[in-house]
Amino acid sequence: MITADLVIVGAGPAGLYATYYAGFRGLSVVVVDALDQLGGQMSVLYPEKPVFDVAGFPRVRAQDLVDSLVEQAALAEPTYLLGHDATELEQLPDGVVVTTDRGARIRAGALLITGGMGRFTPRPLPAGGEFVGRGLRYAVPRPAELTGRNVLVVGGGDSAVDWALCLEPLAASVTLVHRRGAFRAHERSVSELRSSSVRILTPHEVAAVRGGARVEEVDVTGPAGVETLKVDEIVAALGFKADLAALSSWGIGLSKRHIAVDRSMRTTLPRVFAAGDITDFEGKVRLISVGFGEAALAVNNMVPLVRPDLPVVPGHSSDAA
């Protein structure tokens, strides 16, 4: 049994900032994450991607932001349990006990869930699944590996458009295929895409993938029929399936993989709070910058529950030693 003032489930940006902030408020912290590294999706899926919506940073590389958050969180001297999936929640009159799939038990005065989308697995490309690892991938953690390659990006969301733009100056050619005429990505990114050298095929779908040891060519279907493309690499950016089965068993009231919270970031369960992409309330906006604010709100409002001698309203960080 590990004892702490606060247990945080999720070590993405919101969880890391909450770790720092809880330390600033004088709380001891244990952080649990199913991944074996800190940073959540940012570190696993797009560490090289530029991020634009964090206050004070006109542009910051995703992994650099994670590294700074980890350094900041270290001020709280947290205990990290990485590669641990939080599976069970027991509620006590004065706290909670969280149990992981590896047998760790954490007793804390409160629980903060910053799990984003929980465990995530890529939505598979219907055609060519046998080429995974042989030219077909679902993320681009190291874009430089695709330098000089003919790349086909599949999808119409932010990840697909971002990766197409990121790879444009590196790859020999980039083609983006999307089954609909309209994109779901941010308007500014779509505008940049249309001004780039990326070839855009909409509405088109991947019908077949062929090759030997690796991908060699792809058939795409569209209004004009079938076109065969010479391709070295396929990036299937079709989104991810969230696995929040454990949270569903906690009686926390998940709806469409989101947790309803009030203005204090409280959930329907006593001493259980949530922050970041996993939360839902009227007017919710899913941005990293919003997640940071929610993390601070959650920590400040749980402090009197864990430490009755401390107020909700914090002092100024500049006054801290």
CA–CA separation, 231 and 153 (whole Å): 10
Q: Are 30 and 41 in contact (CB under 8 A)?
A: no
The residue type found at 111 is L
Does the annotation flag 196 for ligand binding?
Answer: no
Instruction: Read off the tokens for 238.
Output: 């079709």
Output DSSP code: residue 161.
Answer: H
Cα separation values, 48 from 63, 65, 103, 176, Å: 6, 10, 34, 19
Does the annotation flag 91 for ligand binding?
Answer: no
Does the annotation flag 318 for ligand binding?
Answer: yes
The residue type found at 194 is R
CA–CA separation, 22 and 126 (whole Å): 44
Write out the H or E segment, with its range, that includes residue 68: helix 62-73
Cis peptide before 203 (omega within 30 of 0): yes
Instruction: Read off the tokens for 268.
Output: 């329907």
Does the annotation flag 86 for ligand binding?
Answer: yes
Phi, psi of 132 (to 5 degrees): -60, 125
Output DSSP code: residue 174.
Answer: E
Does the annotation flag 195 for ligand binding?
Answer: no
Q: Which residues are annotated as a binding site for FAD?
A: 33, 41, 46, 86, 120, 277, 318
Q: Which residues are annotated as a binding site?
A: 33, 41, 46, 86, 120, 277, 318
